[in-house]
């Protein structure tokens, strides 16, 4: 079964949106297999966002993601990588459709509430970066 990495960013945590966000993915039918609050270190932020190293917003991005705790999650389900990105909406909340997480709660691109893996390669890399194997569970729903 496919897995993806999702992270409620510092703005989402400070605005008390963790419950709302978890609820949306639960109601969609995806399975939460790992979750934790953590303070992202500068080193972890720079590795996680390494592909954006040359972008002008890189330093701000690292400062922002290390500014306050995040809520990191691993979700499992059919086509969950693409479906979660649909539910998150476009990166820039100004372009995100109402009904999506960023469309409903986001205001600006640098504080866009949530991060989600964009491919199976990123999902694998990001899950391994944030979680140890023993922090993830595997189960079949029986109800």
Q: Could you list the residues known to form a binding site for ATP, using ranges.
A: 9, 57, 85, 91, 102, 112
Work out whether 112 is an interface residue with ligand CMP (CB under 6 A): yes
Buried b (16+ CB within 10 A) or exposed e, 41-71: eeebbbebbeeeeeeeebeebbebbbeebbb
Number of residues that bind ligand CMP (CB under 6 A): 8
Which residue, 15 or 57, has its beta carbon nearer to ligand CMP? Answer: 57
Q: Which helix (H) or strand (E) holds 48?
A: helix 42-48
Q: At what angle do helices 80-88 and 18-28 cross, to 10 degrees?
A: 130
Work out whether 38 is an interface residue with ligand CMP (CB under 6 A): no
Residue 112 φ then ψ, to 5°:
-110, 30
Return the residue of 23, 97, 110, 119 that touches ligand CMP, per CB under 6 A: 110
Which residue, 107 or 137, has its beta carbon nearer to ligand CMP? Answer: 107
Residue 6's closest CA among 65, 59, 84?
A: 84
Q: Convert residues 54-73 into a mask of x (bound to ligand CMP by CB under 6 A) and - (unbound).
A: ---x---x------------
Interacting residues toward ligand CMP by CB under 6 A: 52, 57, 61, 91, 109-110, 112, 115
């Amino acid at each position: 079964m496919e897995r993806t990495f999702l992270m409620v960013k510092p703005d989402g945590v400070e605005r008390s949106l963790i419950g709302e966000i978890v609820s949306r993915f639960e109601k969609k039918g995806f399975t939460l297999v790992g979750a934790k609050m953590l303070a992202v270190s500068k080193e972890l932020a720079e590795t996680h966002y390494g592909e954006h190293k040359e972008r002008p917003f890189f330093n701000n991005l690292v400062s922002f993601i290390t500014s306050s705790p995040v809520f990191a999650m691993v979700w499992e389900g059919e086509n969950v990588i693409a479906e979660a990105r649909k539910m998150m909406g476009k990166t820039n909340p100004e372009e995100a459709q109402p009904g999506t997480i960023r469309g409903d709660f986001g205001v600006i691109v640098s504080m866009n509430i949530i991060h989600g893996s964009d491919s199976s390669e990123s999902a694998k890399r990001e899950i391994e970066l944030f979680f140890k194997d023993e922090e993830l569970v595997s189960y079949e729903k029986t109800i």
